[in-house]
Amino acid sequence: MRCTASANGALDARRLLYILQRAYMSYLATKKSDVAYDSLLRLLRRFCQRYGFSRQRQTKNKLKQAVLTEVHDEFARDFHREYQSYENDCVFNVDETGMYYNLPPTYIWAVRGGSAKISTGEKHSMRMTAVLTARADGQKLPLLLIMKGVPGARIETNEFPTFPRGHHYAMQENAWMDAVVWKQYLRDVLGESIEEPSVVLMDNFECHVSDESYGIMHEELGSHLCALPPNATSVCQPLDVGVMAPFKRNLRNLWLYEEQLEGGDDEDPYSPTARQKRMAMVLRAIA
């Protein structure tokens, strides 16, 4: 453990789980499925603390809570005044979140008093962006999953037909949302679900609030685009406030119970292929 940490590597719960891979399934079998993951993490934390490691996390500056509360209250008043005539099945919220095959750690274990920095090479090779949409009446829309690659190339041609139907898939060079993918989302996901004048609530990401986006929403979908106040998604974005945390917790639980995939690498037979990872991530997201 100390060798991994001293080499500027991220010593996290995932690495410890790999070390214990053959043993932890019997431990999990003694726990209820909805608490097994947290129980195992507590066991690992006690072990690390016993041997001189402290739990560390990078911090980010945030708006003061009083300011956020004021922004939330003002936005809520304006929103309800403007859109109070819309029924719940005509109010949509869309949000995006990154997801990883190996699930990047929230915390890492570092030698107590030492540094929490990791080397620049510590990257997660497989990432997707999941676009979630829900109506105010609780109805969920199909997911849009954005994968890293060249649009129209081999992955889209050969793998997309094998993915579960009922959801949408897109390629982007960095697996991020951009103007091209956003137009696909508006027309293929929202466009198939909006049946009457509606309002769509979203953050103020550049491609979301572009003139082209407003045009598609108004002219093609007959709907209003309502952008959230800057830096206030943590209190004003419904999906961010109430859905993303359970969604990511479910991804972690599914990852924990996922059977290890055998890949095609002769040097590392337990390393899944990129294609296997993509399918595994799709199945987790839609589960």
Phi, psi of 170 (to 5 degrees): -145, 155
Mean pLDDT, range 74-80, rounded to an integer: 96
Domain ranges, ordered by start, for the chain: 62-104+122-286
218: tokens are 């108004």
Phi, psi of 179 (to 5 degrees): -60, -40
Other CB atoms within 10 Å distance of the CB of residue 194: 21
Burial degree of 274 (CB within 10 A; 0-12, 13-18, 19+): middle
CA 206 to each of CA 25, 173, 202: distance values in angstroms, whole numbers, following the listed order = 45, 18, 11
User: Residue for token digits 């999990």?
Assistant: 28
Q: What mean pLDDT, rounded, does the chain reach?
A: 84
- DSSP character string of 117-167: ---TT---S-EEEEEEEEETTSPBPPPEEEEES-TTSHIIIIIGGGSPTTS
Q: What does the chain come to in residues?
A: 287
Rounded CA-CA distance 37/40 in Å is 5
Q: Which pLDDT does position 51 carry in this prediction?
A: 72
Residue of higher predicted confidence among 70 and 31? 70
Phi, psi of 145 (to 5 degrees): -110, 125
The identity of residue 243, as a single letter, is: V
Using an 8 Å Cβ cutoff, are 252 and 33 in contact? no
192: tokens are 């198939």
Whether 52 shows a pLDDT value over 70: the answer reads: yes
* Residue 107's pLDDT band (cuts 50, 70, 90): low
Determine how β-strand 108-111 pairs with β-strand 53-56.
antiparallel
Rounded CA-CA distance 214/226 in Å is 10
Rounded CA-CA distance 93/95 in Å is 7
Rounded CA-CA distance 210/134 in Å is 22
Whether 225 shows a pLDDT value over 80: the answer reads: yes
* Residue 8's pLDDT band (cuts 50, 70, 90): very low
Rounded CA-CA distance 178/256 in Å is 31
Helix, strand or coil, per DSSP, at residue 195: coil
pLDDT tens figures, 139-161: 999 999 999 999 999 999 999 99
Provide the edge-to-edge strand list for the sheet that holds 144-148.
168-172, 144-148, 127-135, 91-100, 199-202, 224-227
pLDDT tens figures, 166-187: 999 999 999 999 999 999 999 9
What's domain 62-104+122-286's superfamily in CATH?
A: Ribonuclease H-like superfamily/Ribonuclease H (3.30.420.10)
Q: Which of 27-31, 140-144, 253-257 has the highest mean pLDDT?
A: 140-144
Whether 266 shows a pLDDT value over 60: the answer reads: no
